[in-house]
Chain A
Amino acid sequence: MQHSSPRASLLDDFIELLSSMRFAISLLTVLAIASVIGTVILQNQPVNAYLNQFGQFWDPVFSRLGLYSVYNSGWFVAILAFLVLSTTLCVIRQFTPMLHEIRGFRERAREVSLRNFAHRASLEPALPPEKRSDAVTAYLANAGFRFRVNEREGSTLIAAKRGSLGRIGYFLAHGAIVLICLGGLLDSNVPLSLQIRFLGKTATSGNQTIASIPASARLAPSTWSFRGNVYIPQGAIAGNAVINANDGVLLQPLPFTVELKNFHIEHYETGMPKRYASDVVITDNKSKEVFERTLEVNKPFEHRGVTLYQAGFDDGGSVLSLTVHSMAANAHPPSSFSAEVGARIPLGPTGHALEITEFRSVNVEDLSPPDNKAKRTEAAFSGSGTRAASGENLRNLGPSYTYILRDPAGQAREFSNYMQPIQINGLWYFISGMRTSRTEDVSWLRIPLDEDKSAAAWFAIHQSFFDPALQAELIERYVSHGSGKDEKNSLKIVAGHVLSLFTKGGFDAISDFTVTNVPEDKRDEADIVFLQAIQGLVWEAWMIAREAAGKSALELNDIHAPFVRDTIHALTVSLHYGAPFYLQLTSFEQRHATILQATRSPGKPLVYLGSLLLVLGVFAMLYIRERRLFVLLKKDEALVAMSSGRKTIDLDEAFARHRDGLAAALGASTLP
């Protein structure tokens, strides 16, 4: 090449660098490393999560580098752009020489260069000279070669080739990369960034109704590519997709509205969702055309360039009927109310508030006993794959719901209650789980039920224990079983003492007391006395409750021991339960909401076309073996030479085969 000026030469050098393979490979390497960062650091999390994870110093640095949203960061997109540029330049530069290579036969190859081929052989043809050319071309045609015959002075060169399409594979594969990257760029969040930067759009808080979202957080209806969620409760209509951006949300108006008529969900025996589907009515904004469709996972629907996918589901505001069982010192009788999932309910003057966060209609648990090793080995290594070593005892525990109780200071506790009584080891309980934070273990309150599967007895016992007005009556009843004044007196002292300790701090308070006030050698004895007192008090409280409920008194025996034991345990747990009531779910009306995903991705056809070309290109490049075969016919000699763009062992075999084939065709023997 000739350069007219140093500047032009510099430009040429630059283009040379950009289009070089080394540069492209370096870009690919950087791309791979950058991608790794994106998989190691969780992407697009809330700002605070990162601050907690990386600390004051690194957080702003990482944030600046765009590591929290690697794949959308400027530098990442820039690498992709360079890759496109580099590949494009490479394809352009290669175009003419490759075309030449594909079309040309090199029938002007010189004898000297043929004699330098690694694969060459000299044959001594027995066939008369005038028949040689035809014999060779007949052989080549039969072997699938195309050829040109070049008669020249004193010799004839037959230049043949096959598999030139492999070279086209190069254009297909590399052009495909360009197409895929361009398509991907078209579908990236560039339009979103542009609207934020130039049209002054800003994300707003997600905790508000669609109607109250300001215009500044509403994107143009014509946004060429986007991806957002559409949340629709049963019976409701939605016309916007919600896009999460910059720790807030943006609204993307859709060209149609979607009404959720019905939501279906089916479960497997294990409680895992098997199928969920939304019956929707889609109404076009302009033409008012109406489509009734059922959207399902793997079965999307497209209209006006926007595709709707079934992405998930949520509660759409199920209505729960709840009964309040007070566990306060001055308990009031049970009362009922109903509330929607998602509602926030202020609780009277104390400033507490209750939020119902979740409702689940199905809870399948594996209640199998711990498995045994021999059975497990057998199941793992023989028989059918359906045999379970555990998990045979799946049981649906029925509906449950979760609520958060927040005190005025904002401290929250989360409670999950099952609606139906649950049987454990033959006994029935109402079960409620409580935890003070997501990271903590759940502590379980198991309220024992009596023979009618009613929890009323336990609540009455609880009241007898904790209501000062009722404590006196309880102690009175307990003492009445004593014989003689002295015993009654001492029983009274012990019972009063134990009750006041127990109701303050459970067994911990009692053992603290014994440790400080009872000599070491008497402690075991004292513990027994105290435990018996508690058991006796529980029994009496139970009998009082039964009388009040009009139930018969029970005979004191071992059959009732588990109830007494569980009652004491539940009373202890209730001290740390953190809510002055137990909310029992009595009935519910479930309402689903569907979560759809709405996307517009105009780059998709480009990407798909690119993908097709990529596959064709890769297979062509790797599996179409280009071969060039030259036969130079001279007076006493036939020189056979072969080359390939790619050096693989099968070239040796192919050469040997064609050499022998040509030798046979020419009736020749191989010269050394």
Chain B
Amino acid sequence: MELASSSPPPCPTPSAAPANWLARRNVGDWLFAIAVVFGLGIAYSRYGQLMDGYEIAILFLHAPLLIILGWAWQPFRLFAAAVAILALTSVWLYQGELARAEQTFFLKYLISSQTAITWMSVFFFTATGAYWLGLASRFDFAGRSGSAMTWLAAVMGTTGLFVRWYESYLVPDIGHIPVSNLYEVFVFFSLVTALLYLFYEGRYNTRKLGAFVLPVISAAVIFLLWYSFTRDAYQIQPLVPALQSYWMKIHVPANFIGYGGFAIAATVGIAYLLVSRGMLTDRLPEPRVLEDVMYRAIAIGFAFFTIATILGALWAAEAWGSYWQWDPKETWALIVWINYAAWLHMRLTRSLRGAILAWWAFVGLFVVTFAFVGVNMFLSGLHSYGSL
């Protein structure tokens, strides 16, 4: 009973019994639920023959996940609907021919995967500018534009990934979910971080933190653009045998929810440090609120990172014959995990508070960045799928 009412993600649900919660669903909620189930059903009927049993299970487990998300967080529905419409339009325009990406106007300039991801980048940059303007001018419109741009970026990026998924199946032999190399996971990281941020923005009713979170996303996007331009990283590549597994569909996304949470915590940590030194106090939320956001971001990051690491271990046991072999990526995942486990211990037992925790969350981002990108750049190991 208590378990059910407090399932993740942390939502501003009234602490009432689940029966109560279910009874309070309105027509929109049920329509959304029906649309999700219907959509997954269509996906299954069209592509089910390409999936194994595990993948079908993963597909249908998305029903409760998406429904709970859409019920607990209303704006998510509009987002899901927009992504569905754009992605399906793109698929429809392709008509199974890759060459149409260059011939059809909408594909070429809007919703082929690369174009959509370029739009995502543009919106993230403008969102960053808008949030900064909002922080500097206290002009509410700027902040609202920032939110809108971030939403648009998330819609375009998610559409881009879905379309990329479809495109990969138009090349013989290659089809796979687009979370298999550094380019794809950078897009994914940007999206997850943006969506998590938007959730907190609604939850805490402040648009001022966008000025701190969006620069991290923009930095990721700059890296992404550089990487795709200089290394042709955007190309859909075939999968090595070890990656051909349903585990990839859950291990990688879980990991990036973790990284996204940690990234938000770090940037909110900066905001906290500024406010606690008396800077921008009239524009930013009070330290108590910032501290709370930081805790929540790390909590969700840690929970998902724990799952991701465990899923990684299970997959490693199946693909490499050992659930743990101190490969550099594994070891650094452990270091990240230990870092945030220690942070949470300090926070929850109230041994440390305030500025030290904020500094710690900020420095944590460097540890995370090393685990995410640095390991691939400087250390060699089994996880060399996204080498620079």
Contact = CB atoms under 8 A, between A and B. Distances in A.
Contacts, number: 221
Given A144-B17, A165-B2, A622-B302, A298 B241 contact: yes
Contact of B332 (A39, A143, A625): A39
Contacts of A307: 321
Contacts of B171: 386
A621 B173 CA distance: 44
Contacts of A387: 98, 101, 114, 235
Contact of B328 (A39, A296, A611, A624): A39
Given A382-B114, A623-B10, A615 B101 contact: no
Contacts of B332: 35, 39
Given A21-B345, A38-B326, A386-B168, A298 B319 contact: yes
B164 interface: yes
Contacts of A227: 321-322
A182 interface: no
A388 B231 CA distance: 11
B114 A385 contact: yes
Contact of A381 (B8, B115, B375): B115
B241 A273 contact: yes
B108 A383 contact: yes
B6 A625 contact: yes
A309 B321 contact: yes
A22 B352 CA distance: 12
A306 to B, nearest CB: 11
Interface stretch (B132-140, B148-156, B333-341): B333-341
A453 B295 CA distance: 72
A39 B375 contact: yes
A276 B241 CA distance: 8
A566 B232 CA distance: 34
Nearest to B19: A144
A137 B276 CA distance: 43
A298 B242 contact: yes
B173 A384 contact: no
A621 B241 CA distance: 38
A32 B335 contact: yes
Contacts of A474: none
Interface stretch (B40-48, B56-64, B310-318): B310-318
Interface string B275-301: 000000000000011001001100100
Interface stretch (A205-213, A348-356, A643-651): A643-651
Interface string B104-127: 000111001111001000000000
A581 interface: no
A381 B303 contact: no
B177 to A, nearest CB: 13
B229 A309 contact: no
Nearest to B296: A648
A21 B349 contact: yes
A389 interface: yes
Contact of A650 (B12, B242, B303): B12
Contacts of B221: none
Nearest to B313: A611
Interface residues of A, number: 84
B108 A382 contact: yes
Nearest to A141: B17
B102 A268 contact: no
Interface in B155-207: 163-164, 167-168, 170-171, 173-174, 178
B232 A385 contact: no
A273 B112 CA distance: 29
A25 B342 contact: yes
Contacts of A446: none
A297 interface: yes
Interface in B71-117: 98, 101-102, 107-109, 112-115
For A142, A298, A376, A597, the residue with the greatest tally of chain B CB atoms inside 10 Å of its CB is A298
Nearest to A72: B326
Contact of A384 (B16, B113, B350): B113
A385 B31 CA distance: 34
A272 B238 contact: yes
For B98, B228, B321, the residue with the greatest tally of chain A CB atoms inside 10 Å of its CB is B321
Contact of A268 (B3, B15, B229, B238): B238
Nearest to B380: A42
Contacts of A311: 320-321
Contacts of B339: 32
A386 B326 CA distance: 35
Contacts of B299: 622-623
Interface in A637-658: 646-650, 653-654, 657
Contacts of A597: 320-321
B306 interface: yes
A298 B245 contact: yes
B236 interface: yes
Contact of B118 (A36, A381, A625, A650): A381
A71 interface: yes
B235 A386 contact: yes
Contacts of B109: 382
A269 B173 contact: yes
B306 A599 contact: no
For A36, A40, A384, the residue with the greatest tally of chain B CB atoms inside 10 Å of its CB is A384
A45 to B, nearest CB: 12
B137 to A, nearest CB: 28
A618 B320 CA distance: 27
Nearest to A270: B238
Interface in B33-59: none
Interface stretch (A325-333, A572-580, A601-609): A601-609
A478 B284 CA distance: 92
Contacts of B387: none
A377 interface: yes
Contact of B334 (A32, A270, A604): A32
Contacts of B242: 297-298
B145 interface: no
A227 B245 CA distance: 23
A614 interface: yes
Contacts of A389: 232
Contacts of B313: 607, 611
B232 A382 contact: no
B223 interface: no
B319 A384 contact: no
Contacts of A649: 288-289, 292
A35 B229 contact: no
Contacts of A647: 350
Given A144-B16, A274-B173, A614 B338 contact: no
A22 B225 CA distance: 44
A43 interface: yes
B319 to A, nearest CB: 5
B369 interface: no
Contact of B345 (A25, A43, A143, A391): A25
Contact of A611 (B20, B310, B331, B345): B310
Contacts of B102: 383
B1 interface: yes
A300 B292 contact: no
A132 interface: no
A388 B232 contact: yes
8 contacts: A25-B345, A144-B15, A268-B174, A384-B101, A391-B232, A625-B6, A627-B15, A657-B14
Given A270-B238, A385-B178, A624-B2, 10 more contacts: A143-B16, A300-B318, A382-B112, A383-B101, A383-B114, A385-B113, A385-B114, A608-B314, A615-B310, A622-B344
Interface pairs A-B: 10 shortest CB-CB: A297-B241, A309-B321, A384-B101, A597-B321, A39-B328, A611-B310, A268-B238, A383-B101, A649-B292, A385-B236
